[in-house]
Chains A and B, each alone.
Chain A
Amino acid sequence: MVKHGIIAVLIVSSLFSENIYERSCVGCHKELPTSLQEMFKRYLLVYSGEQNVKSALKHYLKHPLKEISVMDDLFIENYGIKDKTTLSDSDIDEALDSYWEKYKVFGKLK
């Protein structure tokens, strides 16, 4: 009984310790052949600066369109475009901050 209780507490705490990015983005993208890092690099290639990249991502999450996707046609043909996000603005911002921090180039070059 005690053992079961500990397991339940661990599951709940691990769920709450994950940030919004981990919970809302990583799960779905695991299924795709293009990694989140590859997609980040595509955004960098097109939008450059932090604010520009974040704004573009936010706009795409809220209004996903084939025409403004950074992915190539073959990828879109096979996997389509994502559904409109259900996250609030603040959640999107938080998720994007985490995404940016994880894959940004700043401070990684030697």
Chain B
Amino acid sequence: MLVLKNKDTSSLLRSEKKSLSRFLTLYATMVVLLITLLSLFYYQGKEKLMLFDQRAMLTKYAYIQTKRLKVLHHYFDERTEYPRDPRFKSAIYDLEYKKIFSLLSKEKIHFDEEVYIAGDTIHLVKALDEFYLGAKYLVIEIPNDGAWRGEGWKNIIGYGFLALLFFMIFGLYLAKMFLKPMRDSIVLLDRFIKDTTHELNTPLSAILANIEMMDTEMMGEKNKSKLARIAIAAKTVSVLYKDLTFLTLEQDRKNHDENIALKELILDRAEYFSVLVQSKQLDFSLDLGNANMMADRRKLTRVIDNLISNAIKYNKRGGTLGITLRQGMLLIWDTGIGIKKENIPFIFDRYIRFNESEGGFGVGLSIVKQILDEYHVLVEVKSSEEEGTSMVLRW
């Protein structure tokens, strides 16, 4: 048995939203990935450009230091003071990468790179042609002020945000374009139902009025049962008609909320459906306490009609239909065919029908859910296949 507790409005729009959110999530991930990648390339490019700019100056410093090393080599070891310069720091390493002398603040040297960033400094590694003092490598270090980095980040954030914004707007446009065929088909179906509903009104009213007016006392038993069947058919169509009218024409009408005595309303609707109940030889089990609810009578009638109508439609011949009413709780249950476990989450979706043996458009429970959500009524669905279904409303 599965219980559905769902306060969200379930309609076809939900699947539309789901498709939209899936597409947008995938799209946004791709866009963010693309922008990150571009930002990375931009950052690396900016870094290379800065190093290229610094390289000329570093090479000049290396040239100056090499000349000084040459002199020191010549006078070594009468002179042993390593040449210093306020503009840069330097170090010398031998062929085997052993440090001969160093004034550097960052001692980790990348001998395979010519110019690189080492923390807050920039290093130039110069391979000497003549190994003064045995030095094969001369490393020049200057401070890295990081101004280029600040500017780079500013550009990445600024342009990245603009690109993200542009791509997201474009993505929304794309998503709407992809969803248009689905939306069009829904609009078409809505329009068809709206047009059809108009045409149903007059003949249906005429049939129901004439059934009421017919003098059954003069009829034979055979004709009486025929009339009862006509009445059942007409009332079934009438429920469908009212649903469709509600869905297409009246749902935006202003509510006329009033304090409704639910017991009277349910008795009235049970009476209305009594012909259908009898025709299916159902046992009607009513246990009605006193309960009130502030709601629009027309809307609440749609809820009760649909729940009772479903409990009759999907019941087994000779089964039981029960209604229990207490303050804050209404239970409508049946001993019918039940609903498959995997279908329960979708029963309130519009145009969804799981049993083709019965007629209908699949709009009834969608209307029920829409109205219940409007009045903040919680609905629980409990169902087991071949055992029955119960709907519990709590407010």
Task: List residues of A whose CB falls within 8 A of some B CB.
Answer: 37, 41, 44-53, 105-106, 108-110
Contacts and interface: CB of A to CB of B under 8 A. Distances in A.
8 contacts: A44-B131, A45-B130, A45-B132, A46-B131, A48-B131, A50-B96, A106-B98, A108-B80
A41 B76 contact: yes
Nearest to A106: B100
Interface string B88-112: 0000001110101100000000000
Nearest to B83: A109
Contacts of A106: 98, 100
Closest 4 CB pairs of A and B: A48-B95, A49-B95, A49-B96, A44-B134
Contacts of B98: 49-50, 106
Q: Which of A41, A46, A105 has the most CB of B within 10 A?
A: A105
Interface in B100-145: 100-101, 130-136
Q: Which of A41, A48, A52, A106 has the most CB of B within 10 A?
A: A48
A50 to B, nearest CB: 7
A53 B95 CA distance: 10
B131 A109 contact: no
Given A47-B95, A50-B96, A105 B131 contact: no
A108 B15 CA distance: 80
B221 interface: no
Q: Which of A47, A49, A108, A110 has the most CB of B within 10 A?
A: A49
B136 A109 contact: no
Interface of B: 73, 76-77, 80-82, 94-96, 98, 100-101, 130-136
A45 B100 contact: no
Contacts of B135: 48
Contacts of B134: 44-45, 47-49, 53, 105
A74 B157 CA distance: 68
A106 B100 CA distance: 5
A109 B100 contact: yes
Contacts of B94: 48-50
Contacts, number: 55
Nearest to B130: A45
Contact of B95 (A37, A52, A110): A52
Contacts of B132: 45
Q: Is the interface of A mostly helix, strand, loop or mixed?
A: helix
Contacts of A50: 94, 96, 98
A49 B99 CA distance: 10
Contact of A41 (B73, B81, B95, B100): B73
A44 B73 CA distance: 10
A109 B96 contact: no
Nearest to A51: B96
A49 B136 contact: yes
Contacts of A51: 96
Given A47-B134, A48-B135, A52-B95, 20 more contacts: A41-B76, A44-B73, A44-B134, A45-B130, A45-B134, A48-B94, A48-B96, A48-B136, A49-B96, A49-B98, A50-B98, A51-B96, A52-B96, A105-B134, A106-B100, A108-B77, A108-B80, A109-B100, A109-B133, A110-B81
Contacts of B96: 48-52
Contact of B80 (A37, A44, A110): A110
A110 B131 CA distance: 19
A37 B133 CA distance: 12
A106 B99 CA distance: 8
A53 B135 CA distance: 12
A94 to B, nearest CB: 21
Q: Which of B80, B101, B131, B134 has the most CB of A within 10 A?
A: B134
Nearest to B82: A109
Given A46-B131, A50-B94, A105-B100, A110 B82 contact: yes
A36 B126 CA distance: 29
Contacts of A52: 95-96
A39 B83 CA distance: 23
A20 B238 CA distance: 123
A105 B76 contact: yes
Contacts of A45: 73, 130-132, 134
A44 B95 contact: no
B131 A47 contact: yes
B348 to A, nearest CB: 82
